[in-house]
Amino acid sequence: MSRRGGPRFIDVHCHLHDKAFDNDRDEVVERALKSGVEIIITSTLSTQELKKALDIAEKYDCVKVSAGFNPLNFSVLDAEEVAREIKRLRDKIVAIGEVGLDFFYARGEERERQVDIFRFWISLASELKLPLVIHSRSAGKYAIEVLVKEGYDRVLMHAFDGSSGWALKGVSRGFMFSIPPSVMRSQQKVKLVKSIPIEHLMVESDAPVLGPEPEKRNEPSNVVVSATKIAEIKGVDLNEACEVLYLNSKSFFRF
């Protein structure tokens, strides 16, 4: 139970530092806390974002930072700069991510360069003993293949858009999957929730995107929507489902 007596949540993946929240971040955080969200993990894509996210985490006790890299940035120098920052700030960072593959936009040779940089992040995570949060847009199968080959298992696949078959290959390696509120309008996400055991699920908002309504700004309090839908799909009691999802996240990140 949360401090307010209801179910408690961890938003394992969002972008609270995004400029979409610059005008009302206090209220957004307040609404999340009121909904039972105890921890919000904001995920960065560059050195600049990392700096902003760390400032925000200083301000709000409930905010933690996951440091990642935009898969559509092919600059090895930029990746190395972010890696140096991650090493320097190791104690202020709870995970490496999102990192991974985005085959929606990348083609041909660009995909190979993405895989190379992705391998670099996997080895850094294993060196620093940090969990990995994976972006795998239109590349679920490929991301899982690379992870399995590299042999790194402390993995959270966020907003996975691949098939349930490939997801279950990840599950067999112990991978976790976080479900965004867009599960309300995505048959693929419903299928995913049906096939993945609840012990391998978490909730994320991916705010400001992937909300229950496509055109509306999403926010961390909407992890309640994800949890409610997961409980419904699994046919389990809502409070019990929330507690399992909460404890899954807590033990994965070792909070």
Q: Are 149 and 109 in contact (CB under 8 A)?
A: no
> Is 7 or 114 the residue whose CB approaches Zn ion more closely?
114
Torsion of CA 208, 209, 210, 214, to 10 degrees: 110
Nearest-approach distance from CB 207 to Zn ion, in angstroms? 9
* Three-state secondary-structure class, residue 229: helix
> Is 7 or 208 the residue whose CB approaches Zn ion more closely?
208
Name the one range near Zn ion by CB under 5 A: 99-107, 203-211, 215-223, 224-232.
203-211
Nearest-approach distance from CB 206 to Zn ion, in angstroms? 5
β-bridge partners, 133: 97, 156
C-alpha 192/C-alpha 179 separation (Å) is 9
* Residue of 189, 206, 154, 202 lying closest to 45 (CA atoms): 206
> Is 38 or 206 the residue whose CB approaches Zn ion more closely?
206
> Is 202 or 231 the residue whose CB approaches Zn ion more closely?
202
Query: Vertex 145, ends 142 and 149: CA angle to 5°?
Result: 145
Return the residue of 11, 38, 206, 219 that touches Zn ion, per CB under 5 A. 206
Does residue 18 touch Zn ion according to CB under 5 A? no
Nearest-approach distance from CB 158 to Zn ion, in angstroms? 6
Q: Are 203 and 178 in contact (CB under 8 A)?
A: yes
> Is 206 or 219 the residue whose CB approaches Zn ion more closely?
206
- Identity of residue 144: I
Nearest-approach distance from CB 3 to Zn ion, in angstroms? 27
The residue with tokens 């620093």 is 128
* Three-state secondary-structure class, residue 188: helix
User: Where in 73-92 is the site for Zn ion (CB under 5 A)?
Assistant: none
Nearest-approach distance from CB 43 to Zn ion, in angstroms? 5
How many positions of this chain bind Zn ion (CB under 5 A)? 1
Name the one range near Zn ion by CB under 5 A: 54-62, 84-92, 100-108, 205-213.
205-213
Nearest-approach distance from CB 98 to Zn ion, in angstroms? 5
C-alpha 180/C-alpha 219 separation (Å) is 11
Largest CA distance in the chain: 53
> Is 2 or 138 the residue whose CB approaches Zn ion more closely?
138
Nearest-approach distance from CB 45 to Zn ion, in angstroms? 8
H or E element in which residue 13 lies: strand 9-14
> Is 11 or 206 the residue whose CB approaches Zn ion more closely?
206
| Interaction site with Zn ion (CB under 5 A) | 206
